[in-house]
Chains A and B, each alone.
Chain A
Amino acid sequence: MKYARVYAEDINVGDELPPLVKGPIQQIQLTRYAGASGDFNPIHQDDEFAKAAGMGGVFAHGMLSMGFVAQALTDWAGAGRVKKLGVRFAALVRLKDVVTCRGRVVSRSSKDDVHLVELEVWAENQRGEKVVSGRATIELPSRA
């Protein structure tokens, strides 16, 4: 269930994040993200500019895809639980692409009542190609 409370004790290495499917990406979302983020690089808005820059046309802000990955984490663990998120932008996300965000728990640790879960996270397009890959650290509450 979305926004359900997740506790540190319930998490095991190998657990998978519920996939989050976003898109198809539309130009209007890139325009909206530009306004919201302040990143007005024309490469995400102006097809001619993007072609002249050798990029073959407009593509989504990497930060939009990273925002999707962050949402996959917070839909699952709760807003405010992400302590660290680092990603590499592996491939461009184009208009009409569908982006699916995924993750898997790689480790769990508890120290001084701080319960951390580390995940590998990634996003892939409709062809299964990774567009984003990285790591995340989540802090979870304990049942105790």
Chain B
Amino acid sequence: MPIQINKGVLGKEFPPFAVTVERGKVKEFARAIGDLNPLYLDDRVGAASEWGDLIAPPTFAITFRDEGADTNALLRELGTDISRVLHGEQEFEIHRPLQPGQTYLCRAKVVDIYEKTGKSGPMAFVVRETAITDRDNEVVATMRAVTVVRL
């Protein structure tokens, strides 16, 4: 018997949250991927670069989390739990690399929910978009995540 999810979550905007990027976190993230690019790791290389400091790898914004707006918050709203979900798709649009010491504001919103039946049974696809803006309210990056719930 498939479970039901709360489709009323469509359109929900999560509370905005601010993140200040820590230098050590950028390096830890790059090393965890095994990406030893000096622009992520070497402060002197960063300082001498066109960006004037280290930059973060393209997928770094995935670390921007807040208890009020993370996947667990989404799952609570949907009425399901983490054992049923898979990461279906992910997209980053990057206007400017994220950098240590900068503070960004993240605004996440559920922009689509649809259901499909795959070879492993019925699934719901929940699409979240997160806009990441800087102190001047300019959009620096946008993330789009598709969470798959096995129903």
Contacts and interface: CB of A to CB of B under 8 A. Distances in A.
B93 A63 contact: no
Given A37-B63, A70-B59, A71-B35, A62 B92 contact: no
Contacts, number: 112
A35 B62 contact: no
B93 A84 contact: yes
B37 A3 contact: yes
Given A37-B32, A62-B87, A85 B37 contact: no
Interface residues of B, number: 38
Interface in B8-50: 25, 28-29, 31-35, 37-40, 49-50
A41 B97 CA distance: 27
Interface stretch (B78-86, B107-115, B132-140): B78-86
A83 B91 contact: no
Contacts of A62: 86-87, 90
17 contacts: A32-B31, A33-B32, A36-B28, A36-B29, A38-B63, A49-B83, A63-B59, A70-B33, A79-B40, A79-B55, A80-B49, A80-B97, A82-B94, A83-B94, A86-B89, A86-B144, A89-B89
Given A79-B57, A89-B87, 15 more contacts: A32-B31, A33-B33, A36-B29, A37-B29, A37-B62, A43-B83, A53-B84, A61-B87, A67-B57, A70-B59, A80-B39, A80-B51, A82-B92, A83-B94, A84-B92
